Structure 1
Amino acid sequence: MVLYGYDASVFNALQISKHWIAYFNTPGPNIIGAINTAYTVGAVVAGFFMGGPLADWAGRRVGMAAGAVLVIIATFMQTFAPRGNIGAFIAGRVFIGMGQGLALTAGSIYIGELAPPEIRGKIMSFWQMFYSVGSFIAYWVSFATAKHSERLGEWDWKMVVIFQLLVPILILSQVFFIPESPRWYVQKGRNYEKARRSLRRVRDTEEAVEEEITTIREAIEFEAEAISSGYSALWKDKSVRKRMYIAMIVNGGQQITGQGTLNSYSSIIYKKVFSSSDTIALINALNATFGIIFTLNATWTADRFGRKFLFIVGGIGMGICMIIAATVETQTPSPGGAKSQPVGIAIVFIMFLFAFFYKPSWGATVWIFTAEIFSMNIRAQAVGMCSQTQNVVNSIVQQFFPIFLKNEGFYAFYMFAGINILLAAFVWFFVPETKRVSLEEMDAVFGGANHVVEGAAIEAKDPARQQSVVVDPQEKTISERKD
């Protein structure tokens, strides 16, 4: 997630560099929008059509590693793009997006599948927090280079870009030393021995390992016999279709809260308030710093108050912040083309308050919810498609927002205020609570069959299935679960 946070923030950080602007011949609003769109299009293509199949075929770890490799290639493409060749830079952004699409699909599934249900929300909240860590690194590197811009020359932006190498190299150095998802081992080849080895590294007792293996086995037996072992369940199963619709709206909603736009265009937005590039770089860096702290609120609220509560409170809070920010900016004078210092400080404070509501709710909780609601047979593909709805919506918003902001200024923020209130209403009426529900029993929450119960019933009719579970002759046969 640090990979995602840095990659998503780096272009916003570049836009305050006069050397980057000169290097690529002062790109206009349409080109700026196209650069952001290229990133999201790459992510959509990889997330929709490649991330799920790769994670299912080769494993969650390979999916994360493949994404890291693409980011490394793309970083060199961007850093050493020929002067004036904006096409080469855009191509690099496409590959960055593709790497993100592969890595995020596999990563979110991986964490969801290894986390115990009672603390899954807490663990997944760190997923979003480390997005803020990525932004933190990007913006503080940008601030440091902005302070020494004259001495660095064009390397004031190239250093920001080339720092993208740090995280994918770290991922590649450790990803094959962590345990593979036990659910993938069972789903891929009924390899219960390797599944047990993975679980033993992340569970306290042998009893907990055996109970979870039994739960996984029963769910997969039901999915293979009664539903489908392929992706056809995405449209055949009414319960899955319902989850797809809800998850796509929630993920798309994340990007039209206003946060996605702020992350990509805050430098442009703050230019309407402040005249100093150093000040804007500092604000971006501080915003990323506070983002880490704000996201930590999800670690103690997600499993205590639930996903639905966070969505609703976050949506209402963000809507109010957007109304206040738009009103303050549009109803105060701008002597000399910039706001007075008290007005500027007030607007920055409201934007930070917006992040306070966003980070633990529509930031962290969207990922928690998406990674936990799908059954094993279609989880990788469904999570990939739903999470990349963020980028489908983002690509649309990012393309028109620079022009919208240029023409309408902060009046554009009233649109985000209305959207946030509508999102809170949607969750109130259509989104069920999912806290502390095991992955294998999630279908029942959305009106489907309980895969564990149904799988146990299938095994009860055919005891030979239970015996086939043991791969290693020295392994003990799993004892039947007690009611």
Structure 2
Amino acid sequence: MGGNFMRKVEDRPTPPEVYNWKIYLVAAVASAGAATIGYDSAFIGGTMALPAFRKDMGFDTMGKTEVNLISANIVSCYQAGAFFGAFGAYPAGHFLGRRIGLIIFALLFMLGAGIMLATDSDSGLGFLYGGRVVAGLAVGAISNLIPIYLAEISPPAIRGRLVGMWEIGWQSGGLVGFWINYGLTQHMAPSRQQWIIPFAVQLIPGGLLAIGAFFLPETPRWLLSAGRREKAIETLCFLRGLPKDHPYLLTEVQMTDDALEHLKRTIGIKFSGPFKEVYQNRKIAYRFFLGGALFFWQNGSGINAINYYSPTVFRSIGITGTSTGLLTTGIFGCLKTFFTFVWIMVMIDQFGRRKLLMIGALGGSLSLWVVGGYIAVAKPQNNPSGTLSGGGIAAMVFFYIYTIFYTPSWSGTPWVVNSEMFDQNVRTLAQAFAAGNNWFWNFIVARFTPQMFAQMQYGVWFFFASLQLLSIPFVYFLLPETKSVPLESMDLLFDRSLKPRKAHKHVMLQVQENGEHMQADIMESMGSKGQATQVEQLPAKQMQV
């Protein structure tokens, strides 16, 4: 039974060399950029809760409504920048490539992080707002480019695992962000230095991405689409650990050639092509809708309300004191990180995307109903106490159960699905649209969470629990399983004539049969010529799937 957990569902016979250390190392380096996003989502709420920050920014002299408004503005201006950055990455990814785009936006992020460091009690919030907008532009672009990069370098059988490393980077950054404020409260006296350190730490993941991106190879799919065939084949040989005359590599190049040739005959490979295709092709537009909707449901789970305003959230359950609240937040971060590793190593490429999303939504929803029910009955904010009651402890347990269900389902899976469900020529635009949706709904949550807790109280928990329940029929009836399906075969998977819940089985049978035949034909061709077929000489013919 244990061996089945690591079993790979392959689209065609695959040599073991393909699953080599280099592909994992390249994915890990690229995924380091996600730490910039995860860190911000985790540290900012705790930093704003530090007494020293509140004093220096004048929060102590403001009313609660004004503090809530300013806090929401500080958090949400980052998401607003990220929304526009997600779309700004499209021309960079199209014309310059995924790698150069990552270098540019990593440097932009470091500029934004540096601007934030000029914030102090005399200058007020101007530098903080400006720096967060600039950094937001950068992370919006990064959230577009990294999942695409990972999907395009991945063998189909482990694509979920490699794209999932993006989530590992995100949660690793989040873990540091959740704990850094607790550590500072324990070991530093309240001062500007205490609260400026968390802002300075942002430079570390930004620098790692900027340096790492210089050494990353460009994706073979982008190189082929840009006409740089020799470099594309050289890169593919490096990533797969195979010589250029190996049948597996010949087949992969042939499949990519076929897909690109089909695109050239239909919508073309120009910058404007994807826009025309979305406008004219209802099938592609429908996929855009599905991809964007996944991020609506993800943010509807309530996770970003918790990430950005964790001290406020835990206070509503009855956790009192800055230090205790930050400790509770740190435990939350540990759970998220641990179950992200479980998700990437065991779940995403074994259980598939659909099952994880539906099970995660059901378990998370039930947990939040319990948390909201406790708050509605016990009203802990109206009855402050130095210790949690038995009901309060139960509520915290169910909150952590919610975290356990959410993390290996809705946290990273929408990014995986969006990175793999589109054609080469619309993939960058589609990822921009998906990332833009993520940041739009992220902005809505970040901007209005303080007001929601102030006005709705326990109703906030019921609101997010209800949205999670509603996401289950959406996934069941509309979203097909994308696990192990080659990127070049996604058109068939999303054919509207197939029922989404049955499409995967139908497509994989055809893909496996076609892949085996194509690989056998190439091997036969090699044998008949008595020498290795050079991959540069392969003719382009449309793959019949």
Residue equivalent to 2:38: 5
Task: Report deviation, 1:361.
Answer: 0.9
Residue equivalent to 1:292: 337
Q: Is 1:115 the equivalent of 2:161?
A: no
Residue equivalent to 1:176: 214
1:404-429 Cα deviation digits (max 9, x unpaired): 10122222110001100001111111
Kindly provide the amino acid, as one letter, of the partner of residue 495 in structure 2: G
Q: Is 1:161 the equivalent of 2:205?
A: no
Residue equivalent to 1:235: 279
1:196-215 Cα deviation digits (max 9, x unpaired): 11111221323232221111
Q: Is 1:24 the equivalent of 2:57?
A: yes
Following the alignment from structure 2 to structure 1, what is the Cα–Cα distance between the partners of residues 419 and 450? 32
Report how many residues are paired.
Answer: 461
Kindly provide the amino acid, as one letter, of the partner of residue 406 in structure 2: Y
Q: Is the contact made by 2:156 and 2:486 (CA closer than 8 Å) also made in structure 1?
A: yes
1:233-270 Cα deviation digits (max 9, x unpaired): 12222221110010111112111111011111111111
Following the alignment from structure 2 to structure 1, what is the Cα–Cα distance between the partners of residues 113 and 540? 52
- Could you tell me the percent identity over the aligned residues? 24
Task: Report deviation, 1:448.
Answer: 7.6
Residue equivalent to 1:463: none
Q: Is the contact made by 2:230 and 2:536 (CA closer than 8 Å) also made in structure 1?
A: no
Q: Is 1:261 the equivalent of 2:301?
A: no
Alignment map for 1:34-183 (pairs within 5 Å) = 34-48=73-87, 50-83=88-121, 85-150=124-189, 153-183=191-221
Task: Report deviation, 1:82.
Answer: 3.9
Q: Is the contact made by 2:304 and 2:442 (CA closer than 8 Å) also made in structure 1?
A: yes
1:350-371 Cα deviation digits (max 9, x unpaired): 2221111111111111111010
Q: Which runs of 5+ in 2 are unaligned?
A: 1-33, 60-65, 498-506, 516-533
SS in 2 for 1:125: helix
Q: Is the contact made by 1:67 and 1:101 (CA closer than 8 Å) also made in structure 2?
A: no
1:97-118 Cα deviation digits (max 9, x unpaired): 1110111111110001001111
Following the alignment from structure 1 to structure 2, what is the Cα–Cα distance between the partners of residues 218 and 372? 17
Q: Is the contact made by 2:279 and 2:285 (CA closer than 8 Å) also made in structure 1?
A: yes
Residue equivalent to 1:362: 410
SS in 2 for 1:361: helix
Residue equivalent to 1:331: 377
Kindly provide the amino acid, as one letter, of the partner of residue 119 in structure 2: A
Q: Which runs of 5+ in 1 are unaligned?
A: 457-473
Residue equivalent to 2:458: 410
Q: Is the contact made by 2:86 and 2:433 (CA closer than 8 Å) also made in structure 1?
A: yes
Q: Is the contact made by 2:258 and 2:540 (CA closer than 8 Å) also made in structure 1?
A: no
SS in 2 for 1:388: helix
SS in 1 for 2:239: coil
Q: Is 1:202 the equivalent of 2:239?
A: yes
Greater mean alpha carbon deviation, residues 62-71 or residues 308-317: 62-71
Match of 2:228 among 178, 191, 214: 191
Alignment map for 1:390-469 (pairs within 5 Å) = 390-447=438-495
SS in 1 for 2:480: coil
1:142-162 Cα deviation digits (max 9, x unpaired): 111111342x51211101110
Task: Report deviation, 1:52.
Answer: 1.4
Following the alignment from structure 1 to structure 2, what is the Cα–Cα distance between the partners of residues 344 and 126? 35
Match of 1:215 among 255, 275, 283: 255
Greater mean alpha carbon deviation, residues 68-77 or residues 37-46: 68-77
Following the alignment from structure 2 to structure 1, what is the Cα–Cα distance between the partners of residues 298 and 104? 26
Kindly provide the amino acid, as one letter, of the partner of residue 114 in structure 1: I
SS in 2 for 1:205: coil
Following the alignment from structure 1 to structure 2, what is the Cα–Cα distance between the partners of residues 342 and 68? 47
Following the alignment from structure 1 to structure 2, what is the Cα–Cα distance between the partners of residues 441 and 218? 11
Residue equivalent to 2:537: 477
Q: Is the contact made by 1:130 and 1:292 (CA closer than 8 Å) also made in structure 2?
A: no
Q: CA 1:421–1:357 in structure 2 vs 1: closer, same or farther (change >3 Å)?
A: same
Task: Report deviation, 1:479.
Answer: 7.2
Task: Report deviation, 1:319.
Answer: 0.8
Following the alignment from structure 1 to structure 2, what is the Cα–Cα distance between the partners of residues 182 and 340? 56
Kindly provide the amino acid, as one letter, of the partner of residue 247 in structure 1: G
Following the alignment from structure 2 to structure 1, what is the Cα–Cα distance between the partners of residues 213 and 496? 35
SS in 1 for 2:419: helix
Task: Report deviation, 1:398.
Answer: 2.0
1:164-191 Cα deviation digits (max 9, x unpaired): 0001111111212121111110112x21
Following the alignment from structure 1 to structure 2, what is the Cα–Cα distance between the partners of residues 378 and 399? 31
Kindly provide the amino acid, as one letter, of the partner of residue 220 in structure 1: L
> How does the TM-score come out when normalised to structure 2?
0.80
Following the alignment from structure 1 to structure 2, what is the Cα–Cα distance between the partners of residues 333 and 431? 40
SS in 1 for 2:537: coil
Q: CA 1:52–1:476 in structure 2 vs 1: closer, same or farther (change >3 Å)?
A: closer
Task: Report deviation, 1:15.
Answer: 2.2
Residue equivalent to 2:24: none
Following the alignment from structure 1 to structure 2, what is the Cα–Cα distance between the partners of residues 228 and 421? 41
Alignment map for 1:379-398 (pairs within 5 Å) = 379-398=427-446
Following the alignment from structure 2 to structure 1, what is the Cα–Cα distance between the partners of residues 407 and 264? 38
Task: Report deviation, 1:16.
Answer: 2.0
Q: Is 1:316 the equivalent of 2:353?
A: no
Residue equivalent to 2:292: 248
